[in-house]
Amino acid sequence: MGKLGDSGSAADSNLATSWVRSSSMALNFPFLDNLEPIAPMDRLHTAVGTDSESGHYLNPVYVPKYLNPDAFPTVAGKGCNCSMPTPENDKIECTCGKNGAEAHYTWLKTVPVSGTNNYTLEPADITYRGGDYWGPKTRNGLVAPADALPSNRYPNQALADHVWPLPASAQEDRIAIRFSRYLDQVHSRSEECDHISKECTVPCKPGDEVIAAIGNVRLNVKIIKAFVGNAVQVEFTPSHGEETETTACPMKAVCSAFRYCKPDDGPCTHLKDKDTHNWAGHLVRKHVCPEGTKACKTVN
């Protein structure tokens, strides 16, 4: 993209709306969403007001994850172990691992082996900045003002070697950036961990300590029992705060991370706000279990 993540790009100006030539409207996509947009008020250039710091005003830079998308993203397979030439042998020697039927990659990156004259060639993802091939590396996409480069230096290339857009391809083989970005984003999502990918899951057994994702809540839990159908019983210790008295809470009490106050008879209930004033008269609010209840020692 010409500017850092702009929807319009001079690089696509010579391409038709559809990258497949057709006389019909079936392949005409006037809109194609970016799967990872930036909210308007979260953009760095939307700050309003004067700078609170004295001195020269500097702007930080945010580099979008798919600034340089790969139209055919596939990085699977083993690389090679290589050694540099020596006075006795002026040839580069490489030993490459056995690649299975799933192996397929286009780009390789050189990784030196520290303390030796060897290096490895590893399959690389050229998506900038979501991949691992191009530099410079950013921290979550943010670049400090004093470290920022001109927008046409992401990814960084030697002036004599500069090619744009990347990867280099014949004009007839090019795909518009919005299409290649979409393909790249869909491919990345397909490689995320799920409950069926062998590379992403391990069997759970009683006693395992894991992180449970329950809705938008993340809890450190212990596996109590595993059931068929990807179901498990987990146990965690709620945040008791200032509660000193605890009690046992069975599963039938339907307690949770937010409802862990157990009465003598009945299901768990939620915390209650308790407002007091300190010595300066300022309001102090605490969250405590209601009167007549005790905090759960553990929750299942």
Residue 116 lies in a domain: no
Domain that holds residue 236: 209-296
Least reliable range by pLDDT among 2-16, 27-41, 92-106, 132-146: 2-16
The pLDDT score that the predictor gives to residue 192 is 67
**Are 219 and 176 members of one domain?**
no
Residue 9 lies in a domain: yes
Q: Give the range with max mean pLDDT: 41-55, 141-155, 219-233.
A: 219-233
* Alpha carbon of residue 193 to chain centroid: 12
**Are 139 and 233 members of one domain?**
no
Closest to 14 measured CA to CA, from 166, 155, 177: 177
Confidence check: pLDDT of 140 > 80: yes
Higher pLDDT, 299 or 9: 299
In the DSSP assignment, the letter for residue 269 is B
Residue 3 lies in a domain: yes
CA distances 163 to 71, 151, 154, 166, 181, Å, are: 16, 14, 11, 7, 18
**Are 232 and 148 members of one domain?**
no
The pLDDT score that the predictor gives to residue 220 is 92
**Are 7 and 64 members of one domain?**
yes
What average pLDDT does range 261-273 have in this prediction? 89
The pLDDT score that the predictor gives to residue 208 is 92
**Are 141 and 50 members of one domain?**
yes
**Are 181 and 223 members of one domain?**
no
The pLDDT score that the predictor gives to residue 164 is 77
Residue 29 lies in a domain: yes
Confidence check: pLDDT of 1 > 50: no
**Are 145 and 291 members of one domain?**
no
For residue 63, name the pLDDT band (cuts at 50, 70, 90). confident
Residue 200 lies in a domain: no
Confidence check: pLDDT of 19 > 70: no
Residue 181 lies in a domain: yes
Q: In this predicted model, what pLDDT tens digit does every residue of 182-204 receive, in sequence order?
A: 888 888 877 766 666 666 667 78
Q: Of 157, 192, 227, at which residue does a domain stop?
A: 192
Q: In this predicted model, what pLDDT tens digit does every residue of 81-123 receive, in sequence order?
A: 898 888 888 888 888 877 666 677 788 888 888 888 899 988 8
The pLDDT score that the predictor gives to residue 234 is 92
What is the rounded distance in angstroms from the CA atom of residue 241 to the CA atom of residue 256?
15
For residue 222, name the pLDDT band (cuts at 50, 70, 90). very high
Beta strand 293-296 pairing with 246-247? parallel
**Are 285 and 215 members of one domain?**
yes
Contact 296, 259 (CB under 8 A): no
Q: Of 136, 158, 192, at which residue does a domain stop?
A: 192
The pLDDT score that the predictor gives to residue 34 is 79
**Are 279 and 134 members of one domain?**
no
- Provide the residue type at 199 as one letter: E
Q: Please state the φ and ψ torsions of residue 225, each to the nearest 5 degrees.
A: -160, 145
**Beta bridge partner(s), residue 61:** 143
**Are 187 and 242 members of one domain?**
no
Confidence check: pLDDT of 246 > 80: yes
Residue 106 lies in a domain: no
For residue 9, name the pLDDT band (cuts at 50, 70, 90). low
**Are 156 and 69 members of one domain?**
yes
Confidence check: pLDDT of 256 > 50: yes
How many structural domains compose the chain?
A: 2
**Are 54 and 152 members of one domain?**
yes
Residue 149 lies in a domain: yes
